[in-house]
Amino acid sequence: MADLKLTDVAKSYGEVDVLANIDLDIKTGELIVFVGPSGCGKSTLLRMIAGLEKISGGTLEIDGAVMNDVPPAQRGIAMVFQSYALYPHMTVRDNMAFALKIAKMPKAEIDKSVENAARILQLTDYLDRLPKALSGGQRQRVAIGRSIVRDPKVYLFDEPLSNLDAALRVATRIEIAQLKEAMPNSTMIYVTHDQVEAMTLASRIVVLAGGGIAQVGSPLELYEKPENEFVAQFIGSPAMNLLSGEVTATGAQTTVKLDGGGVAISDVPTEAGDKGARVNVGVRPEDFVPTENNPLYTGRVNITEALGEVTLLYFEAQNGEEPVIAKIPGIASGLRKTSVSLAAPANKVHLFRDGKSLLYR
Ligand SMILES: Nc1ncnc2c1ncn2[C@@H]1O[C@H](COP(=O)(O)OP(=O)(O)O)[C@@H](O)[C@H]1O
Ligand SMILES: [Mg+2]
């Protein structure tokens, strides 16, 4: 059991408020990912949970007990850091056993614990090696093994892959997913600024921005139903396009006349009173389809990037808005410097008013 509950948690350094109004309910066995831009308070929130940073306001509970003033060592939490300093003169086995020896655990129990961790981390064959005889990914696993042997209820990871190169990041990401599966009863919180890591690992993602929570949801909920423009543009790559316009017809479907001249039809319902409202229409690059008639958008393609299975079309900027980007299947480099019209299915057209999705009212 390791349920975590944060109620109205806040953090300030002197006059500076870093986080406020953080409410979170995390259940045993979840893998929660905190994601958000650099400096938004991800590490600070993680460190408050670990007990390495004082909580300025609100409460943190683990399994119903308030933890605000409980020392880190008594919280049943293990934190895995970005840099993984192993003892270079000790074998993998001794590195993993170190904390248990200090805690004077009987040798037979230490051996059992280390061997169990090694099995979960696929390090059994490497137990007698020194760190220098391991790859970067294996060393990172030993560092994780040092936490597993202590059998914590909650694991906290602060950007553990950010020092690894791209290929190793992917491989280690998959290992972390497998590690989670091997330990279904432990709760994990994983911090990253990389939305791909968040999308692939998380059971639920917490998007942090501007000192608070922008949205909590499963990866697909955030992708399909972002609550606000921030989440809409933070999740997904390239980011969702936003085009300004005015609501011209309301009801079960909504029609928006865009400032650029096109017309968008969205499955997001609106009320009679919304007629005339200024809104932003959101369309993901991958949801655009080239069309001949009734375009949502027409523009001149400035640059194309053929990635093999898809081509990215970067349009020339219009109306002072960010340039539109479309992602279309196949190789379409021939569209460069031509005029292209785009449509989008009504169930893929998002609507935002004052930055908030009209889906959530
Ligand atoms: N010890 C500190 N004193 C003052 N400000 C701090 C301290 N630690 C972090 N901050 C500030 O808190 C904010 C959040 O930092 P951090 O949690 O490290 O962000 P993230 O991990 O999301 O990049 C930043 O603006 C940072 O400058
Ligand atoms: Mg950080």
Tens-place pLDDT, residues 225-264 = 999 999 999 999 999 999 999 999 999 999 999 999 999 9
pTM of the model: 0.91
Q: How far is the CA of 43 from the centre of ligand 2 (A)?
A: 4
Domain count of the fold of the chain: 2
Phi-psi region of 236 (alpha: psi -120 to 50; beta: other; left: phi over 0): left
pLDDT at 99: 87
pLDDT at 178: 86
Ligand closest to the CA atom of residue 41 = 1
Tens-place pLDDT, residues 125-156 = 999 999 999 988 788 889 889 888 888 899 99
* CA-closest residue to ligand 1 atom 14: 41
Query: At residue 107, does pLDDT exceed 80?
Result: yes
CA gap 158, 140 in Å, rounded: 13
Please name the residues in contact with 304: beta carbons below 8 A apart, sequence gap of 6 or more.
311, 312, 313, 314, 332, 333, 335, 336
Count CB neighbours of 87 within 10 A. Answer: 12
Check whether residue 91 and residue 135 sit in a common domain: yes
* CA-closest residue to ligand 1 atom 18: 43
Of 348 and 186, which is predicted with more confidence?
A: 348
pLDDT band at residue 164 using 50, 70 and 90 as cut-offs:
confident
Query: At residue 83, does pLDDT exceed 70?
Result: no
CA gap 133, 145 in Å, rounded: 17
Check whether residue 87 and residue 205 sit in a common domain: yes
Pocket test for ligand 1, best of 13, 56, 157, 162 (most atoms within 8 A of CB): 13
- State what percent of residues in the chain have pLDDT above 90: 78
* Mean pLDDT within 159-175: 81
Check whether residue 164 and residue 247 sit in a common domain: no
Check whether residue 243 and residue 229 sit in a common domain: no
Domain boundary at 233, 258, 291, which? 233
Check whether residue 201 and residue 295 sit in a common domain: no
Pairing of strands 57-62, 65-66: antiparallel
Q: How far is the CA of 85 from the centre of ligand 1 (A)?
A: 23
CATH code, 13: 3.40.50.300
Domain boundary at 207, 233, 259, which? 233
Q: How far is the CA of 129 from the centre of ligand 2 (A)?
A: 32
Check whether residue 218 and residue 251 sit in a common domain: no
- The answer to which of 8-12, 81-85, 288-292 has the lowest mean pLDDT is 81-85
CATH code, 248: 2.40.50.140
Domain of 103, in residue numbers: 4-233
Tens-place pLDDT, residues 319-342 = 788 999 999 999 999 999 999 999
Check whether residue 203 and residue 254 sit in a common domain: no
Q: How far is the CA of 94 from the centre of ligand 2 (A)?
A: 30
Check whether residue 193 and residue 287 sit in a common domain: no
Is 13 near ligand 1, meaning CB less than 6 Å away?
yes
Domain boundary at 174, 200, 233, which? 233
Q: How far is the CA of 79 from the centre of ligand 1 (A)?
A: 18
Pocket test for ligand 1, best of 12, 18, 34 (most atoms within 8 A of CB): 18
Amino acid at 174: I
Mean pLDDT of the chain: 94
Using the atom order of ligand 1, give the atom closest to the CA of residue 158. Answer: 21
Check whether residue 150 and residue 276 sit in a common domain: no
Check whether residue 260 and residue 311 sit in a common domain: yes
Check whether residue 208 and residue 340 sit in a common domain: no
Check whether residue 150 and residue 225 sit in a common domain: yes
pLDDT at 82: 63
Cα dihedral sign, 298-300-304-306: positive
Tens-place pLDDT, residues 25-63 = 999 999 999 999 999 999 999 999 999 999 999 999 999
